[in-house]
A = this chain, B = another copy of it.
Amino acid sequence: MYSFKDDYSELGHEKLLNDLLKLSKIQMDGYGLDSVSSEAKELIKKRFAMTEADVHFISGGTQTNMILCNSALSQIEAVIAADTGHICVHECGTVEHNGNKILTAPNKNGKLSPCDIEMICLSHTDEHMVFPKLVFISQATEKGTVYSKRELKDLFDVCRKFNLYFYIDGARLGTALVSDGIDIKPEDMAQLCDAFYIGGTKNGSPLGEALCIINDKLKERFRYYLKQHGALIAKGALIGSCFKTLFTNDFYFDLARYSNTMAQKIVKAFTDKGYKLSYASGANMIFPILPNEKLAELQKSFKFHIWEKIDDNNTVIRLVCGWATVEDEVNKFIAML
């Protein structure tokens, strides 16, 4: 049965896997110090207009988030995040395992607001409570929504005001940056935060994310943290090469654009048929509301996530399109609506 469950169900684009094959027997320096990884880092720094950034390749998103948080924070410092934040719910308490509390605010369509941050900072005033130090958001969010440039700027401003680090989880940064109506270019990113990561796993790579550290304070001895958390893989070129391929001729954004096109095709079909969507998403993750009978019918032919029941008759589902989504299956799905 065809699945719209996720954008990481297929191993990886053959272009990336073919480039790996070429490296099979080449002797390279270990632990990410190889020349292929260096080339990949240069490509990324150029594309995102951040000459001074440090780029590190890390195997997955949870690992990236946990290491960035652990290296940025002392044990009495805390993270601020929306209650839907991936680190709050779906990373098995890794931030807490490493010693830091997460202070949450109720999300609005998956987003955190400057006001949430301000309220948390103002109410944490003495040593009986933790000290807020880092703001975590996801772009796109866990609900598929995308922050505008203005929204990111406002968040970054309030972070500066309270001396907080601003970190963006970019598991789906690719699809966010080519989403409908987005006013943020890749080259803007380094101006909008202290650190962010460029998701590979959900955009065609068999493995890996590219963590980009802009703020010098977050750079120091970062490789120690990679090693301590078991993230300094011996054959760093495995991820390096994939990102080199992805950022050669903007292939990364071609894949992301394809994902969005497929998802938006489904959005249009839903809208045309008169269905509503739970949150407006211009990227690759959509949340249509379905009557339960229609839901049951679709489940016979397709796999997808049940998100939440909204009343006795209607349910929100989550559909995700990716670089490997088969257009024929999209068409079949639409035909069933």
Contacts and interface: CB of A to CB of B under 8 A. Distances in A.
B62 A232 contact: yes
Contact of A94 (B20, B28, B61, B230): B230
A12 B24 contact: yes
A39 to B, nearest CB: 15
Interface majority SS (helix, strand, loop, mixed), chain A: loop
Interface string A148-172: 0000000000000000000000000
In the complex, the count of this chain's copies comes to: 4
A69 B331 CA distance: 49
Interface residues of A, number: 76
A186 interface: no
Chain B CB count within 10 A is highest, among A60, A91, A100, A228, for: A228
Interface of A: 2-3, 6, 8-14, 17-18, 20-21, 23-30, 59-67, 70-71, 74-76, 78, 89-94, 96-101, 127-131, 201-202, 206-207, 221, 223-235, 237-238, 241, 324
The 3 A-B residue pairs whose C-beta atoms are closest, nearest first, are: A63-B230, A93-B101, A92-B227
Given A76-B221, A89-B129, 7 more contacts: A10-B23, A12-B235, A17-B17, A60-B233, A75-B97, A94-B230, A97-B100
